[in-house]
Structure 1
Amino acid sequence: MTFTVQLSPCQFQPTETVLIGHPNWTVSAVKYLSGIAALKVTGAQVEAIILPWRGQQVWSLAFNGAAVGMHGMTETPAAGQGLLDSFGAFFFHCGLFGTSAPGPGDSHPQHGELPVGTMSQAWIEIEEASRSLTVKGRRDYAKAFRGRYRAEPFVRFSPDVAEIVIGIKVQNLGRAPLPFMYMGHPNFRPVDGAELVWSGDYTAEALRLYTPPSSALEGSTQHALLQALASDPMRHSRFVPGQAIDPEAVFEVDYQADGDGWAHTLQIHPNGTSDAVSHRLKDCPRALRWIARQPDLDAVAIVEPATSWLGGFSVERAAGRVPELTPGRIWRTEMRIGRLNAAETKTRRDLIDRIAGRQETA
């Protein structure tokens, strides 16, 4: 049996209020001074703050008391109109009329309309059999000469595991085909001395640094670093203490999947534990990686599962890298995000290396 709790903006007040007291979960509601509503979900091994009406961003995430999110520009959500006005969330959905930055001929905002889009509905489901809790939302979007769609993001929590599942379902509600782009954007805190590993080839052909226009690098202290990363992109896979990446480094990454269709990425900490992301390669056949190490912004999106590469909508569509949804059709994807202990990390790394052919299959 599934129990459903509908959410209303009036439930969110400056004083934190418990909405659900459950043997496995505590869910409370609060409204920040900025006016942004937030849900706090607490379980045995996970604590998350979700913005149910604002793109269903996962603002913060902690496993067993250890926060995993980036050091962003704002400690609490700000009420600006764009994503960059409140840049501090652990996770946000990107798309659908553009991901990354707009290119020539584009009008979409940075990372599209999804990150700060207002949800039409929000609710919580608790599944009695599995004891899982899921925060869900729905946004019905319609704009003349662009299209109509329904986006339904979700965040699912399971008891007694240091993992969450983030996903989204998109349905074309219009009468014409809907070209769309999608990217998931999880933002971890980089750990000095950590190593990035993933289920793909460690070659320059499969790991490509995005090179910004030369004018953007003029006078940049990172010009030499970016030149070094372009010639040897694997230099980025270990976080050297004191090594700034300012303003950023962005890579296109080719992945391979396991027998069940999952691709895997780890940030392995010096103590052997790791941050882990697994994504469905069939749904998101491309992936990006973003790193910024500055005094005010310290973040690594160890993988950004995506339908397209880094070009804006016009560039990607011209290259044939923008899928379409026929009327009524549904597209969906999901990501598993967690913290692994040392033994789990070794098992996952062995799987990653087998997928990529870096060791013999047992």
Structure 2
Amino acid sequence: MPGQVTLELDPSLFGEREKRVAHSGKLVATAFRYKSGVAGLRVDNGAGTVTLLPFQGQQVWDAVFFGRSLTMKSMFDEPQPTRDYLRTYGALFLHCGGTSMGNPGPTDTHPLHGELPNLPHTDAQLVFGEDEAGAYLDLTGIARDAKAFHHDFVSRPRVRIREGATSLDMAVDVENRAGKPLPFLYLAHINFRPVDGAVLIDSVRDDRADATVRQPHLAQDEDEAVVAYHRAIAADPSSHRTLKAGVPIQPELVQTMKAAGAADGWTHALQRHPNGSGDFVSWRPDDLPYAVRWLTRGPDQDALGLVLPATAAPDGLAAATANRQIVWVAPGAAYRTSFRFGALDPAAANGLEATIKTIRGG
């Protein structure tokens, strides 16, 4: 695009000491390396900071706006150099999917959430530009995943950080390089930190008719409070919408919901904080028809997947195949989608809540 400036990111830029690698206006990018060896990129946009992993799945490790981290609590203080999903699980955002996605079912052999979450990126770029909405900085790059006699695809993700904004614009482009159709699945794993007393608001019209709750596997000696929570959800799914302090949710609550869209094709979900502010996700149900809600609260993990927009329910490849939820990408073609998420001040949260109620009422 005219007016864009691109900077190639070389791993040698990322050392033990944080150093500025690029800036334009209020957009400042600094490179560093975690003690674990993972390269990190910190972007200050004048409204807060976003920490990215340019060579490991292009994850958003953390984002801080309005003086608070949006990111889940986890046992990981920093990312680890591995493709094992659960051995480095603490990011605000991960691309999930590929030739599989979700929790492997009884007959599945694929890794948890597929190839994309920690996919190594051989190249990464920063792109500075400006459009009708103002100045921005993109992190993008290319990663290839190939397996003989199985698949060959190239992923081109992009996260756009706008000057002075408190949200992130995400896009993903996955091209099928193989000579046969690619069976593809995708889920945007956005992990907010839950807020006690918050209310979850979305365009799901009927929690009983338009939401399916996955039955958890509870240990025989499970805490009585955990059992009571899951029994309450089974009796009244809408009861999960208020996050009550001190209520353990383990191992997790997983709901797959049908969310209504607006005339412009978009829909939204909001975690409304007691002080009126909020966290949000916006996506297009035509691209990502399954609104997955994921919630876990305990001493080691405290996380809210307000909505994880997805092409399928997160129940593994066999279930997605049986339920005809696979997206088939022709040779040379690509799957593309975009979405956004972030934080809102009370006035913006008021406006989004009104929009959601209009969609749900319509």
Structures share a fold, TM > 0.5?
Answer: yes
1:190 corresponds to? 194
Match of 1:28 among 24, 27, 30: 30
In the alignment, which residue of structure 2 is the partner of 1:340? Answer: 344
* 1:234 to 2:242 alignment: no
**Distance in 2 between the 1:75 and 1:181 partners?**
29
One of 318, 323, 338 as aligned partner of 1:319:
323
Q: Distance in 2 between matches of 1:295 and 1:203?
A: 28
> Is the aligned partner of 1:18 residue 2:20?
yes
User: Is residue 2:281 matched to residue 1:274?
Assistant: no
Q: SS of the residue aligned with 2:25? A: coil
Aligned equivalents of 2:102, 2:56: Cα separation in 1: 19
Give, in angstroms, the shift of residue 128 of structure 1.
4.0
Q: Percent identity?
A: 35
User: Partner of 1:48 in structure 2?
Assistant: 50
Instruction: Tell me how far apart the structure 2 counterparts of residues 159 and 115 of structure 1 sit (CA, whole Å).
Output: 27
> Which residue of the partner structure matches residue 244 of structure 1?
248
Contact 1:24/1:131, CA 8 A, preserved across alignment: no
CA apart distance, 1:281: 1.2
Shift of 1:75: 1.2
Match among 247, 266, 269 for residue 262 of structure 1: 266
TM-score (norm 1): 0.95
**Matched-pair contact (CA < 8 Å) for 2:99–2:114:** yes
- What are the superposed Cα offsets for residues 334-354 of structure 1, whole Å, 9 maximum, x if unpaired? 221121121211111111111
Equivalent residue runs for 1:1-362 within 5 Å: 1-129=3-131, 130-213=134-217, 216-221=218-223, 222-357=226-361
**Structure 1 counterpart of 2:103, which letter?**
A
- RMSD over aligned CA atoms reads 1.3
Partner SS state of residue 132, structure 1: strand
Q: Is the 8 A contact 1:46 1:163 kept in 2?
A: no
Mind listing any 5+ residue stretches in structure 1 that lack a counterpart? Answer: none
Aligned partners of 1:223 and 1:125: how far apart in 2? Answer: 49
TM-score, scaled relative to structure 2: 0.95
**Cα distance in 1 between the residues matched to 2:171 and 2:161:** 12
Q: Distance in 2 between matches of 1:58 and 1:79?
A: 15
Decide whether the 8 Å contact of 2:174 with 2:336 is kept in 1.
Answer: yes
AA aligned to 1:228 is A
Q: Deviations over 1:190-218 (max 9, x none)?
A: 000000000121321112211135xx443
Q: Distance in 2 between matches of 1:117 and 1:284?
A: 21
CA contact (8 A) 2:216 2:253 kept: no
Kindly state the Cα deviation for residue 273 of structure 1 after the two structures are TM-superposed: 0.7
The runs of at least 4 aligned residues of structure 1 exceeding 6 Å deviation read none
1:24 CA drift (Å)? 2.0
In the alignment, the residues of structure 2 paired with residue 91 and residue 85 of structure 1 have an alpha-carbon distance, to the nearest angstrom, of 15
Secondary structure of residue in 2 paired with 1:124: strand
Residues 83, 119 of structure 2: 8 Å contact kept: no
What is the CA distance between 1:98 and its match in structure 2?
A: 1.7
Identify the range of structure 1 (291-300 vs 157-166) with the bigger mean alpha-carbon deviation: 157-166
The count of corresponding residues between Structure 1 and Structure 2 is: 356
User: CA separation in 2, counterparts of 1:112 and 1:299?
Assistant: 21
Residues 22-73 of structure 1 show CA distances to partners (whole Å, capped at 9, x for unaligned) of: 2121101001111100100001113111001100110001113321111112
